[in-house]
Amino acid sequence: MSGTLVVGQSGGSTATLSNTLAGVLEAALQSDAVDRIYGMCNGIEGLLQERFVDLTNASTQLRDALRRTPSAALGSCRYGLQETDAERALDVLKAHDVRYFIYIGGNGSALTVQAVDRWAQESGHDLHAVAVPKTIDNDLWGTDHTPGYGSAARFAALAALDGGSDSWALRTHDQVKILETFGRNTGWVTAATALAKREEADPPHLIFVPERPLTQERFLQEVQAAFDRFGYVHVAVCEGLRRPDGELLFASDRAVDRDAFGRGQLGGVSTLLAELVADELDLKSRTDKPGTMQRACLSLASSVDLEEAYLVGKAAVKAAVSGDTGKMITLERTPGPEYAVTTGLIDVSDVAGKERPLPDSYLNEAGNHVTSAFLDYVRPLIGAQLPEYVRLSLPTVSKLI
């Protein structure tokens, strides 16, 4: 069967998500089953609005440029597909003779693939729909990790390393720094800040993630204890920190801040915690909140992630033209001392709308840092190892007076 292949990008940015698009184009251009290649502008919104970019003649230069482009070069969306969209979606798919539907996204986007696949089957339209994993959150089941995560992990680790070196240098003045990373319900990105720590006294001194509920009281106790021990404190926190009752420590309750899935916008827990530290512990406290740069900074991307993001794009086209549908590409880590991955396939229904938290074995007992098992897991994903910095701190000159 031959026909049109459509490809879309959905959800939050990653540094490497357009590498995946490049991989899709590369494999699609080489496939006899693909007559035309259309890119959806702003994901499924573009399909429903019939806004497509014709990529059938995508040049080598364009594919190379995509590999040097972060975020969604096609534009992205956060659109929750409704059953009422089915007729329109099918009309567009049929009008353009779309036989291959490749959708790059996270667990929300997997729901889109699931719906489109089901609608096509129910209407008798022969369509092969394949999801390609993409999320800095690393919260998808069935894959060792998600493309996008390695680069966000690298960024978070560098934010902790560089912000930590700033904290160390100014430790007689700036007493507490709180670095806030992304992560709605899971602490994968926050946990990666631990890579910045080489010695016990190094930042980050504390790491708090949603998988370990936190009270304000315990947060303050932990900060004070770390301050007493190290003389300054660098804390990494996840935007999605939760209280023991399951409620977020901070989320906007404005209607305008709710996304298509009714979830309040996060970002701001560090401000709340810094105010708490200043008010309750009388320690000078400041926040670093890199925000969207952490998911879109290609200049600091992981070389491993760049390559794998490209690989999963190619694998998705191969799976679709080989007859697979309703599947998501996975990355499987090859056992052994050397890091290597192969791609696999999983039913999209095993992924769609589900979230994978950090496993217990990756978090220490105190719930304030990670374990070496997590470091072993994450280290190969960030590409080149982090730089090492010099500190000239011990007074090595004898006091004369």
3 state SS of 313? helix
User: CB of 284: closest distance to its own copies in angstroms?
Assistant: 5
Q: Which is nearer to its own copies, 144 or 162 (CB)?
A: 162
Residue 176 CA to residue 298 CA, distance in Å, equals: 29
User: CB of 107: closest distance to its own copies in angstroms?
Assistant: 17
Half-sphere exposure of 326 (CA within 13 A, CB side): 11
Residue 65 in contact with its own copies, rule: CB under 8 A: yes
Residue 263 in contact with its own copies, rule: CB under 8 A: no
Residue 317 CA to residue 27 CA, distance in Å, equals: 6
Residue 310 in contact with its own copies, rule: CB under 8 A: no
User: Taking Cα atoms as reference points, which of 186, 147, 189, 190 lies closest to residue 11?
Assistant: 147
Indicate if 282 belongs to the active site.
no
Token pair, residue 313, equals 């794009």
Site for its own copies in 45-64 (CB under 8 A): 45-46, 50-55, 62
Residues 174-213: x where in contact with its own copies by CB under 8 A, - otherwise, as a string: ---x-x----------------------------------
Single residue of 80, 96, 220, 324 touching its own copies by CB under 8 A: 96
Residue 106 in contact with its own copies, rule: CB under 8 A: no
Token pair, residue 385, equals 């190892």
Total interface residues for its own copies by CB under 8 A: 95
Residues 138-177: x where in contact with its own copies by CB under 8 A, - otherwise, as a string: --------------------xx--xx-xxxxxxxxx---x
Residue 100 in contact with its own copies, rule: CB under 8 A: no
Q: For its own copies, which stretch binds (CB under 8 A), given 27-35, 72-80, 115-123, 348-356? A: 72-80
* Exposure letters 155-181 (e unless 16+ CB within 10 A, then b): bbbbbbbbbbbbbbeebeebbbbbbbb
User: CB of 383: closest distance to its own copies in angstroms?
Assistant: 12
Residue 393 CA to residue 171 CA, distance in Å, equals: 12
Q: For its own copies, which stretch binds (CB under 8 A), given 106-114, 181-189, 210-218, 381-389? A: 381-389
Q: Output the CA angle 335-143-156, nearest 5 degrees.
A: 95
| 137 alpha-carbon distance from chain centroid | 3
- Report, as residue numbers or ranges, the catalytic residues: 137
